[in-house]
């Protein structure tokens, strides 16, 4: 039941954050165990997403499942890389977990919603999910760190751009690896 409580608190916390209400931080367990819980749920969501996509084709092997989970974890990797770079540039001292834990829950929703949009509506509408993710990351950066607007926008934009670039690079590498010589 801890997982359901964590998800419920994350939804309430994000609702409060987007509404500009105080107390949103208390809805997230911003500790190492809280991060571990968020990452475990994130891994489960990516696993389910890979399995759901595979239902229509063939049962994937272990390597295909792990590769799919890795590809779906790219938003989290991009966000952490940009966060660490931004903190380094602005010489921030704010706790990393204040941003990483809520962002992990937002990225779970992003993976599910982006996947639904891509499969139900089509590729070009996915750009809206990227814009929504950028907005969520901007609001989180403003609320969690107190960074100026320009820095928060830069953080959000760079995270989404890195996500797109990482996916494009992965796609290019996979098509090179799969092409006959």
Render pLDDT for 68-115 as a digit per residue (tens, 0 to 9): 888 888 889 889 999 999 998 888 788 888 899 999 999 998 888 887
For residue 11, give both structure tokens: 């939804």
Render pLDDT for 124-150 as a digit per residue (tens, 0 to 9): 778 888 899 999 999 999 999 889 999
Q: How far apart are CA 132 and CA 113, in angstroms?
A: 10
Q: How far apart are CA 35 and CA 29, in angstroms?
A: 7
Q: How far apart are CA 167 and CA 146, in angstroms?
A: 30
Where b means 16+ CB within 10 Å and e means fewer, 22-32 reads eebeebbbbee
Q: How confident is the model at residue 175 (pLDDT cuts 50, 70, 90)?
A: low
Closest CA to 7 of 34, 31, 33, 32: 34
Domain boundaries, the chain: 38-178
């Amino acid at each position: 039941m801890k997982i359901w409580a964590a998800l419920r608190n994350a939804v309430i916390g994000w609702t409060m954050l987007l509404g500009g209400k105080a107390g949103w931080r208390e809805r997230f367990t911003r500790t190492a165990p809280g991060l571990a819980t968020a990452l475990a749920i994130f891994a489960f969501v990516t696993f389910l997403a890979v399995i759901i996509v595979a239902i229509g084709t063939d049962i994937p092997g272990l390597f295909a499942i792990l590769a799919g989970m890795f590809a779906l974890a790219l938003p989290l990797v991009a966000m952490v890389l940009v966060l660490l770079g931004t903190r380094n540039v602005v010489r921030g001292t704010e706790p990393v977990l204040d941003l990483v834990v809520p962002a992990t829950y937002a990225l779970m929703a992003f993976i599910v919603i982006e996947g639904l949009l891509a499969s139900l509506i089509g590729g070009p509408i996915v750009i809206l999910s990227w814009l929504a993710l950028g907005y969520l990351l901007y609001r989180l950066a403003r609320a969690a760190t107190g960074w100026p607007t320009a820095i928060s926008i830069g953080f959000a934009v760079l995270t989404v751009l890195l996500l797109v670039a990482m996916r494009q690079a992965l796609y290019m590498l996979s098509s090179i690896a799969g092409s006959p010589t």
